[in-house]
């Protein structure tokens, strides 16, 4: 009889514990859901790439360089942008897979430039020790374009880049309107003194993308044309050798170059063939319009 009573008691305790666990779990889900609603929208992430949601934003500036004028509204569709610039380690894998030139004979990388941080060792391209996770330098526009294609992605347009850096509130810098600080961005340094792009999260943009200004400027897919920006005017379907926009700022740029509206460009022709050459101050990151929400 005592054995039967003990068995019934254990079953009751077990059932009570199960009900208690279910109640605690349900309360946890309710609290989490309430926290999500009160905290506002969160950046969506998939394997180090950030969702920039569709919408209009203010592009350009009325008070800075003539090429940045006028400030105007631009609508951008949903897209994803990599949180960090492509690193020397990552680009070395591409060079191993694809070589140094495109099928059309365009150089991907200035491998013989003294500023390069990737070299061939024992038959393979590898990043120089200590620079593996620094953003890749000396990559040509064609190398950036084809690396992104190799990853199943593409270079961002200049409008996409600026929306990721600026959001919807006309801010001057990715982190807001407070002046640049070494804790927010890599700038004002010596020649070729890059740094890892993941060490200054306080300087990220409103969409969670980091290292957008400073460290290295960035290639885009857009042809350089005057504002207002109209994606349907041909600037996003240019000829292969059309001049391309570079956005952002470099590690050896001054503080006043860190504004999100600054625009530069390189052309293919000319003595230095800037579009087909790598540079110590220019890197890149990839984007995609593919829906990555389920990853």
Residues 31 and 64 both lie in one domain: no
The full DSSP string for 79-105 is EEEESSPPBHHHHHHHHHHH-SB-TT-
Backbone angle region of 211, left / alpha / beta, with phi > 0 → left and psi within -120 to 50 → alpha: left
Same domain, 66 and 195: yes
How far is it, in rounded angstroms, from Cα 245 to Cα 256?
A: 19
Give me the pLDDT at residue 119, please: 98
164 with 54, same domain: the answer is yes
Angle between helices 88-98 and 141-150 (to 10 degrees): 80
pLDDT-derived band at 167, boundaries 50, 70, 90:
very high
Residue 24 and residue 109 in one domain = no
CB atoms closer than 10 angstroms to residue 180: 22
Within this chain, do residues 32 and 108 fall inside the same structural domain, yes or no? no
Decide if 127 is inside a domain: yes
Note the pLDDT tens digit of each residue in 196-255.
999 999 999 999 999 999 999 999 999 999 999 999 999 999 998 999 999 999 999 999
Residues 163 and 22 in one domain: no
| Diameter over CA atoms, the chain | 101
Helices (H), 151-281: 158-166
Q: Chain-centre distance of CA 8, in angstroms?
A: 61
Do 133 and 209 fall within a single domain? Answer: yes
259 in a structural domain: yes
Same domain membership, residue 144 and residue 28: no
Residue 294 falls inside a structural domain:
no
Closest CA to 166 of 44, 261, 48: 261
* 184: containing domain: 46-288
Residue 295, domain member (yes or no):
no
Name which residue leads in pLDDT, 220 or 44.
Answer: 220
| pLDDT more than 70, % of the chain | 82
* 196 vs 190: CA distance, rounded Å: 15
Same-domain check for residues 117 and 11 = no
The number of folded domains in the chain is 2
Cis amide bond preceding 228, omega within 30: yes
Do 70 and 187 fall into the same domain? yes
Q: Is the pLDDT of residue 27 over 60?
A: no
Quick one: what percent of the chain has pLDDT higher than 90? 80
Supply the pLDDT for residue 292. 80
Quick one: pLDDT band at residue 269, thresholds 50, 70, 90? confident
Residue 85: closest CA among 183, 214, 190: 214
Amino acid 36: pLDDT: 39
Tell me what pLDDT residue 17 has.
53
* Interacting residues of 111 by C-beta distance below 8 A, sequence separation 6+: 95, 100, 118, 119, 120, 138
Q: How many CB atoms lie within 10 A of CB 241?
A: 15
- Tell me the CATH number at 168: 3.90.1580.10
Q: 211 and 138, same structural domain?
A: yes
Average pLDDT, the chain: 88
Specify whether 66 is located in the same domain as 11.
Answer: no
Q: Please check whether residue 120 is in contact with residue 129, taking contact to mean a CB–CB distance below 8 angstroms.
A: no
What is the rounded distance in angstroms from the CA atom of residue 295 to the CA atom of residue 292?
Answer: 6
């Amino acid at each position: 009889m005592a054995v039967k009573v003990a068995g019934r008691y254990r079953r009751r305790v077990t059932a009570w514990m199960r009900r208690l666990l279910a109640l605690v779990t349900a309360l946890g889900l309710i609290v989490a859901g309430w926290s999500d609603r009160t905290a506002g929208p969160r950046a969506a992430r998939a394997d180090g790439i950030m969702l920039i949601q569709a919408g209009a934003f203010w592009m350009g500036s009325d008070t800075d360089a003539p090429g940045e004028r006028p400030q105007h509204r631009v609508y951008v569709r949903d897209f994803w942008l990599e949180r960090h610039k492509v690193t020397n380690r990552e680009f070395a894998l591409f060079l191993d897979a694809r070589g140094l030139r495109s099928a059309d004979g365009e150089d991907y990388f200035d491998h013989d430039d003294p500023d390069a941080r990737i070299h061939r060792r024992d038959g393979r391209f590898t990043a120089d020790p200590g620079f593996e996770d620094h953003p890749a330098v000396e990559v040509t526009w064609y190398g950036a374009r084809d690396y992104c294609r190799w990853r199943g992605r593409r270079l961002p347009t200049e409008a996409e880049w600026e929306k990721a850096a600026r959001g919807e509130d006309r801010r001057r810098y990715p982190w807001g309107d407070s002046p640049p600080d070494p804790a927010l961005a890599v700038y004002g340094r010596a020649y070729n003194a890059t740094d890892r792009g993941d060490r200054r999260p306080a300087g990220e943009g409103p969409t969670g993308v980091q290292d957008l200004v400073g460290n290295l400027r960035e290639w885009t897919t857009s042809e350089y044309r005057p504002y207002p920006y109209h994606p349907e005017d041909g600037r996003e379907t240019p000829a292969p050798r059309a001049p391309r926009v570079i956005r952002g700022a470099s590690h050896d740029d001054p503080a006043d170059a860190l504004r999100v509206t600054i625009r530069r460009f390189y052309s293919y022709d000319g003595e230095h063939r800037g579009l087909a050459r790598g540079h110590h101050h220019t890197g890149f990151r990839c984007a995609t319009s593919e829906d990555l929400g389920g990853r």
